[in-house]
């Protein structure tokens, strides 16, 4: 999924720009780190700019508002995470249900790598949606639906291979997967171990109609 965002060019441009440096991409990457740890409402622009080495007056050369910046970060994260999902869910060297398990294992590894400080950006923003710009709400919903469709397609493949009951509602199961997944990730950040994800995924798999 790609969110269309125009690149504004107002504000003070940086005095020195290396031709090989993509400052806008660096700001998005820095913002992604900040927002996955602290959320949108609690995140100021200053630490993001400081990490990249961009003066505050130059921020508006790249983004016309914090809202536009947030949408760009969401777009970047959604594309990154969709690619991660596709890497596992489209890997035909594994059975369909194993592909989902491989995604879960990869996600657990990523959480541990970042000392459980970073969760799912989309899930985090969903929890503070009433504090966000209204423009975020449909975008976040669309991202979840795109991810849900990927899991549903993998479950459909499991049905075709008779690893799942032919009566299984794969869209409902996929929706249930993401609702439970976001809760498990949140609890994992709290406990700083992957036991909540392990417990959740065990029961998700055990509850699939065979």
Q: For 91-140, write each residue's pLDDT tens digit.
A: 999 999 999 999 999 999 999 999 999 889 999 999 999 999 999 999 99
Residue 1: the pLDDT is 53
> Which pLDDT score, from 0 to 100, does residue 5 have?
47
Report whether 176 contacts 204 (CB < 8 A): yes
Domain locations in the chain? 73-206
The arrangement of secondary structure in 73-206, i.e. its CATH architecture, is: Orthogonal Bundle (1.10)
> For 121, phi and psi rounded to 5 degrees?
-55, -45
pLDDT at residue 11 in the model: 52
Question: CB atoms < 10 A from the CB of 60, how many?
Answer: 17
- Tell me if residue 3 falls in helix, strand or coil: coil
C-beta atoms surrounding 67 within 10 Å? 15
Tokens (6 digits) for 157: 């493949």
Can you give the pLDDT at residue 4? 45
* pTM score of the predicted model: 0.86
User: For the chain, which residues score pLDDT lower than 70?
Assistant: 1-21
């Amino acid at each position: 999924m790609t969110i269309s965002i125009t690149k504004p060019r107002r504000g003070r441009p940086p005095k020195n720009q290396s031709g090989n440096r993509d400052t806008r991409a660096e700001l998005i990457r820095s913002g992604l780190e900040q927002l996955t740890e602290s959320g949108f409402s609690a995140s100021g622009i200053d630490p993001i700019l400081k990490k990249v080495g961009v003066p505050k007056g130059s921020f508006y050369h790249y983004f016309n508002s914090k809202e536009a910046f947030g949408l760009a970060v969401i777009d970047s994260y959604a594309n990154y995470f969709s690619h991660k999902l596709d890497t596992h869910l489209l890997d035909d060297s594994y059975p369909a249900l194993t592909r989902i398990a491989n995604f879960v294992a990869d996600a657990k590894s990523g959480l541990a790598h970042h000392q459980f400080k970073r969760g799912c950006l989309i899930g985090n923003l969903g929890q503070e949606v009433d504090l966000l710009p209204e423009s975020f709400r449909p975008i976040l919903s669309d991202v979840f639906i795109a991810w849900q469709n990927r899991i549903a397609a993998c479950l459909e493949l499991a049905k075709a291979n008779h690893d799942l009951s032919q009566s299984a509602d794969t869209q409902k199961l996929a929706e249930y997967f993401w609702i439970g997944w976001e809760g498990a990730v949140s609890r994992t950040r709290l406990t700083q171990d992957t036991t909540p994800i392990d417990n959740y995924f065990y029961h998700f798999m055990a509850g699939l109609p065979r």
